[in-house]
Amino acid sequence: MLSNFTEIRNAAKALSGSLVAVPLGHDVSSLEALLEASDSGLAGSIIVGSAAEVEKSLAVLGRKLAADMSVIDCTDPVEAALKAVSLVSSGKAGMLMKGLIKTSIFQKAILDKEVGLRTGRVLSHVAVVHAPKQDRLVAITDGGMNIRPNAEQVKQIAVNAAEIMLKLGADRGRVALLAAVEVVSEKMPETILWEQIAKEGIEGMDVEGPVAVDGAMDPEAASIKKMTGPVAGRANILITPDIACGNIFAKGFMYMTNTDVGGLIAGASAPIVMLSRSDTATTKLNSLALGALVAGSR
């Protein structure tokens, strides 16, 4: 099992020919991330966007396109999104990254019936976080796509996260369904849902819920609470009850600690990177490395 993002980056660098397709990736922020990915040996890119705007952004950065970067001149957002997605679905690129394009256009292209990346599963955001105290990687989901998932959606979200963790070398998905307490309470609806899912189980995974974060992550805390089983203190997938909890939890790591974070949209037929302009350079590279590794080992 890889234990940190240095190891993820090294594993991604060992893959040859990783390519990311980027609709409207002509802006300074996107180009800077793609140039860094090329410089670091993580991935090359195919930018589907305005060639003139690419040149303007390169001038701002004082750079030229790297040898493993190319541009398909396209200024129409819908056309650019469909073209970028088709590059991935046809196997010409291994992953997709959102450029300076509306999320609604980007997602519509991903779900296009002809060239899209549909699998029939729920799409969910997976934030992979290095937990310094335990010195290991853990997935937090879903803080970016599903507002308040039902039981079936939660199971699919768990499958999405487990696929990523398995690609990182985990032997098995160990899922903690997070709540404030480990007991079921009618005043906390998520605990009722978590108990139901834990009883039903998720094929191929160990599942425990409701579980508080300390019992899920820390073996000593789990022991004090008299928690037993494979998830207690050893969870590698943390599922939150709604998008607010997931978003706050993941961004708390990102902006209140010095730990490393990377994220992907999972559940499609290829990894999808959705970067924010506020993401640090490290987070951008971590996300691209994570995508390259998952795409390269599909």
Model pLDDT for residues 164-176, shown as the tens digit of each residue: 999 999 999 999 9
Transcribe 72-91 into DSSP letters: EE---HHHHHHHHHHHHHTT
**HSE-up of residue 14 (Cα within 13 Å, Cβ side):** 9
CATH number for the domain that contains residue 93: 3.40.50.10950
Model pLDDT for residues 259-286, shown as the tens digit of each residue: 999 999 999 999 999 887 778 888 999 9
Whether 262 maps to a domain, the answer reads no
Q: What is the mean pLDDT of the chain?
A: 94
pTM score > 0.85 for this model? yes
CA nearest neighbour of 87 among 123, 59, 45, 41: 45
Whether 263 maps to a domain, the answer reads no
Checking if the pLDDT of 130 tops 60, the result is yes
Domain match, 171 and 250 both: yes
Which pLDDT score is estimated for 15?
A: 86
In one-letter notation, the amino acid at residue 249 is: F
Whether 231 maps to a domain, the answer reads yes
CATH number for the domain that contains residue 173: 3.40.718.10
Q: Cα separation of 133 and 160, whole Å? A: 25
> Number of folded domains in the chain?
2
Domain of residue 26, residue span: 5-118+268-296
**HSE-up of residue 253 (Cα within 13 Å, Cβ side):** 23
